[in-house]
Structure 1
């Protein structure tokens, strides 16, 4: 079971705590009473999607013995104009860096994440279509630092 507790600090600023022992600030923009001291809840939801699928994909690619040296996952969630401003669609862009990484392995790793393993996308998919794309970059001194 996933759990979290948020406690009001001041204005719209909250401290979130998780059972794994981590704490972080959540806040809003000044226009709605926040001080911009932390991410917004929907940003955290997008980050959760990115983190969930990234962990799946890197784990699967390692099991497939792919020489991945870097992975970046960018999530773009389109939101409804009216409240509750839920995600209406989500696009996930994967950038994989490595040595001779096979495209078919990347496609399979992403497919497994999206259809079998990622609980974050599975939770959101019924209400928001999720699409994805990927780019594979050959590792070099320039791509290693990114």
Structure 2
């Protein structure tokens, strides 16, 4: 992967990837906020794609994060609680499996921070809370669920 950023002036930058480019306007959204949305975006995409692979549709979907940062510079992320809320005609076991596979195996962004950030999650499916403030399992436990990674390749 190759990415670059060019300064455009007035706290704006042009971000370039192999596929596209976009403007980072630091007066509107800070790089830390872009980083955080990239993390939850990656795991969010995984859920939708894994469900689709099994023939299910995810609707009314949102994913958000509550993030605590350290007080001293560089004010790193200390903890991140990810809240998934969606509807889908699949059971709670599958929903937990999709999200677990993303968080534990496939989501590059979550797995890039998990050694230094306490990550937990809540799942609300079809209006019912099916997991509440669950923590990630140890990285020493190998997981194979057959999805092959949906996001961020």
TM-score, length basis structure 2: 0.75
Alignment match, 2:56: 66
Alignment match, 1:13: 12
Alignment match, 1:41: 31
Shift of 1:11: 4.1
CA gap 1:11/1:24 in 2 versus in 1, 3 angstroms: closer
What is the number of residues matched between the two proteins? 127
For structure 1, which runs of at least 5 residues remain unmatched after alignment? 28-35, 139-146
Shift of 1:23: 1.5
Mapped contact 1:16–1:26 kept (Cα < 8 A): no
- 1:29-108 map, 5 Å: 36=27, 38-98=28-88, 100-108=89-97
For structure 2, which runs of at least 5 residues remain unmatched after alignment? 128-153
Aligned counterparts of 2:58 and 2:102: Cα–Cα separation in 1: 17
Alignment match, 1:118: 107
TM-score, length basis structure 1: 0.79
| Structure with greater proportional helix content | 1
Aligned counterparts of 1:40 and 1:4: Cα–Cα separation in 2: 18
Higher Rg:
1
Shift of 1:126: 0.9
Deviations along 1:13-72, one digit per CA (max 9) or x if unpaired, are 322222212222231xxxxxxxx2x31111111111111101111111122333422321
Structure 1 stretch displaced more, 121-130 or 68-77? 68-77
